[in-house]
Structure 1
Amino acid sequence: MAHTKVQIGVETTRGLGSGADPEIGKKALEENKDEVYEVLKDSDMVFITAGMGGGTGSGSLPGVAAIAKELGALTIAVVTKPFTFEGNLRRKQAEEGIAETEEMVDTLIVIPNDRLLQVIDKKTTLFDAFSVVDDVLRQGIQGISDLITLHGIINVDFADIKTIMKDAGTALMGIGRASGDNRAIEAARAAIDSPLLELSIDGAKGILFNITGSSDLSMYEIDEAAKAITEAADPSANIIFGAMVDEAMSSEVKITVIATGFDQGLRKKKDKTHEARPVLGLGGLPPLTNETDEDGFEEPVPAAVSSGLSPDSEERDDMEVPAFIRRKLK
């Protein structure tokens, strides 16, 4: 959970939600716009996230993004689309909110809730299903922030993230894990072909990928993974690569991929299936180690602003955290 929270729209909503009305969400943000501005001031990178389709997410998120961009921060939005069964009105409001948000952010990552049905089984409870949605949003943010805050053999820093994600538009962000003889290439395929993602990596003009494994990770495995990730990209794509050793990974390999610079006509994800599992797993649910909202989905009001750091980052050695982030933590 965010350490700093700003409750918006106390007078507008009288402490309630926005009633699924984006106009109320916009007014709620306007009421506390100065407070949001103060919280985001001096930030180098801002993540904003919401379940789109209701009033608070669809109504306030574009405004929060506009504030972050005005302050000069690299602004990344990770949002979900509502389930089909939630109706056409909610879908329409989500699409409008996403379109407005895309105009304001550097990078937008969209995860349709309907794709959640591809990674859960029939016995998954409603609470656990929505917890998976929450965890997908967490992974999207933590997957990027960990690239900056964790020390690696080949480091990826804020400048690399900015090169790939500034003014990039819609992006693909995938995390894959695999073990066994073909662990690296399977993890790479799982990252770029996650059933939860709306895009295909085909034609991407900017790619940043990071591979994490134990000290037995071989150069051959890295080469295999890199080929799987980059072969579908644009021939002139800007590719940035990082590598980290984490003995806790044991025999497993984890790969994080960020791809940007897609042509509008190539944005729909192709149907592909691989045996490698995405980070969520095709056969079950992930460990639910993070706190979730009481309703398991979108928390209407108050709205929280994320600093972009993983929850346990404060416990790490300060010297592993870049200077620009350490200044924010003091």
Structure 2
Amino acid sequence: MAFIEPNGGTLARIKVVGVGGGGQNAVSSMFESGKTDGVEFIAMNTDLQSLNASQAQVRVQLGPQRTRGLGSGSDPEVGDEAARESEKEIEAHLQGSDMVFIAAGMGGGTGTGAAPVVAQISKQLGALTVGVVTKPFGFEGKRRMNQAEQGIRELRDKVDALIVIPNEKLLEVVDPAMPLSHAFKVADEVVGNAVKGLSDLINSTGLVNVDFADVRTIMQDAGSALMGIGEDDGENRATKAAELAINSPLLGVDINGSTGILMYIVGDANMTMHEVNTAARIVSDAAHEAANIIFGANIDPNIKGIKVTVIATGFDSGYKSVGIPEMPSITSDEVIKQIDSRFDKVDDDESEDDVEDVDNFDNNLSDDDSEFDIEKMRNQVRRLEKEENERRKVQEEKEATVESEVPSDEKGKSFWNFIKKSKEPE
């Protein structure tokens, strides 16, 4: 296991692009939490009214001719067309970047449709391109979730690394009494923290500095990436923060399968080197023995306690929806065609209940029995197909909602404390 602790150099030129309403909100949340050295914030949206309210330094209206500033109507195709209309302007603002973060909320129109276009332009310009996106809450509906899944697949092909944050997991660990508006703000803040953590890792000068070239080594063409954040300000705070980071509800899986890890430890003025070593060892012990770990640490007098951020990359499986293996399918026409070509007769006395599935048809047919009732068999096949379609429908619904194991209450409470006590309802 190799630890890389390179010397700092010239600040990398980092740009954070919030695409669509969700991405724009995430950028605003990050901007409000304090500027990051060497980072330029850009908001891109089809909704001109929303765009004008952004605090980003640069604002880009996407597709002024296509949408007339009225938004995409939750249609990803419109978002895609709007971004392509504005390709030259997007390229002009991304020119010269070393690293580009693309923040978006998946499931709507602009973020889902335009983010892949922005990512493609960024990659073509030679920038290390990282997507940080959210998946919808379950209550936002199946249509929005399906659009999000499709958008994530398209975006993943265009970025170097993609971090997906399921909003539903956030809902599982926050205060049950939280108003809906606050829940969305929490999601925005988590995206902002992911981007800020990586930006600070690259550009901050602290106890242990990290060089941009080494971050590129870990994240370039990495595919899927997973993020975990842990924070604690009590007894054994370094241990608890590190354990929470590697078991974070946002990480979702064991980092043991990762071949590349970025780890950033930030603490208050009282953080000791022993605490840094403790946290780093906990993360490294949980990782694959051959993993390449890039490590950074810094002091931030504005926080209380210790915060550990872990970005894991290099998973062989890439991005996959958590779900149930797909069942084989066969149409009634295909089955009937096979029956017509192979059999002449069937026992008329066989009940429909005796025919359990298509694979058992051979056991229910006999050349010596009475004349084959093709219409009866057609009805049986159609019934089987209907049952299969119903099973597949249930399967798809489960696939859209199945998530990895829910963290314990204790972890949930710690994570909620990290999000900010100020987010609790007044």
TM bracket (short chain)? 0.7 to 0.9
Any conservation in 2 of the 1:172–1:200 contact (CA below 8 Å)?
no
Of 94, 112, 132 in structure 1, the residue corresponding to residue 148 of structure 2 is 94
Cα separation, 2, equivalents of 1:285 and 1:175:
13
CA offset digits 1:212-254 (Å, max 9, x no partner): 224543343333212321223221100111221234445x111
The answer for the alignment partner of 2:83 in structure 1 is 29
1:18 and 2:153 are equivalent in the alignment = no
1:257 and 2:392 are equivalent in the alignment = no
Task: Say if 1:46 and 1:284 are closer, same or farther in 2 by CA, change over 3 A.
Answer: closer
Task: Say if 1:271 and 1:84 are closer, same or farther in 2 by CA, change over 3 A.
Answer: closer
- What amino acid is the match of 1:258? I
1:48 and 2:102 are equivalent in the alignment = yes
Secondary structure in 2 matching 1:19: coil
Of 273, 292, 297 in structure 1, the residue corresponding to residue 408 of structure 2 is 273
Of 212, 217, 233 in structure 1, the residue corresponding to residue 271 of structure 2 is 217
- What amino acid is the match of 1:42? G
1:234 and 2:275 are equivalent in the alignment = no
Any conservation in 2 of the 1:120–1:285 contact (CA below 8 Å)?
no
Cα separation, 2, equivalents of 1:203 and 1:160:
20
Written as runs of structure 1 = structure 2, the 5 A alignment for 1:314-329 is none
Query: Which moved further from structure 2: 210-219 or 34-43?
Result: 210-219
Any conservation in 1 of the 2:62–2:83 contact (CA below 8 Å)?
yes
Cα separation, 2, equivalents of 1:109 and 1:44:
19
| Over 4 Å off, 4+ runs | 265-272, 276-280, 282-286
- What amino acid is the match of 2:274? Y
1:188 and 2:323 are equivalent in the alignment = no
Structure 1 residue 117: deviation in Å?
A: 1.2
CA offset digits 1:166-206 (Å, max 9, x no partner): 11111122222112231111111222222234443221111
Secondary structure in 2 matching 1:63: helix
1:113 and 2:167 are equivalent in the alignment = yes
The answer for the alignment partner of 1:160 in structure 2 is 214
Task: Say if 1:249 and 1:130 are closer, same or farther in 2 by CA, change over 3 A.
Answer: closer
Structure 1 residue 255: deviation in Å?
A: 1.3
- What amino acid is the match of 1:264? S
User: Hey, which of these two has a bigger chunk of helix by percent?
Assistant: 2
Task: Say if 1:247 and 1:284 are closer, same or farther in 2 by CA, change over 3 A.
Answer: closer
Any conservation in 1 of the 2:169–2:250 contact (CA below 8 Å)?
yes
Task: Say if 1:274 and 1:165 are closer, same or farther in 2 by CA, change over 3 A.
Answer: farther
- What amino acid is the match of 1:6? V
Task: Say if 1:227 and 1:271 are closer, same or farther in 2 by CA, change over 3 A.
Answer: farther
Secondary structure in 2 matching 1:76: strand
Any conservation in 2 of the 1:108–1:171 contact (CA below 8 Å)?
yes
1:146 and 2:200 are equivalent in the alignment = yes
The answer for the alignment partner of 2:34 in structure 1 is none
The answer for the alignment partner of 1:203 in structure 2 is 257
Higher radius of gyration, 1 or 2: 2
Any conservation in 1 of the 2:230–2:418 contact (CA below 8 Å)?
no
Structure 1 residue 41: deviation in Å?
A: 0.7
Any conservation in 1 of the 2:227–2:310 contact (CA below 8 Å)?
yes
Cα separation, 1, equivalents of 2:232 and 2:186:
20
Number of aligned residue pairs: 287
Secondary structure in 1 matching 2:257: coil
Consecutive unaligned residues in structure 1, runs of 5 or more: 289-330
Query: Which moved further from structure 2: 104-113 or 186-195?
Result: 186-195
Cα separation, 2, equivalents of 1:55 and 1:232:
39
Secondary structure in 2 matching 1:104: coil
Structure 1 residue 270: deviation in Å?
A: 5.1
Compute the RMSD of aligned alpha carbons: 2.3
Cα separation, 1, equivalents of 2:207 and 2:276:
13
Consecutive unaligned residues in structure 2, runs of 5 or more: 1-54, 323-403
Secondary structure in 1 matching 2:100: strand
The answer for the alignment partner of 1:298 in structure 2 is none
Cα separation, 2, equivalents of 1:232 and 1:153:
23
Any conservation in 2 of the 1:177–1:277 contact (CA below 8 Å)?
no
Cα separation, 1, equivalents of 2:205 and 2:418:
32
- What amino acid is the match of 1:257? V
The answer for the alignment partner of 1:79 in structure 2 is 133
Cα separation, 2, equivalents of 1:69 and 1:29:
15
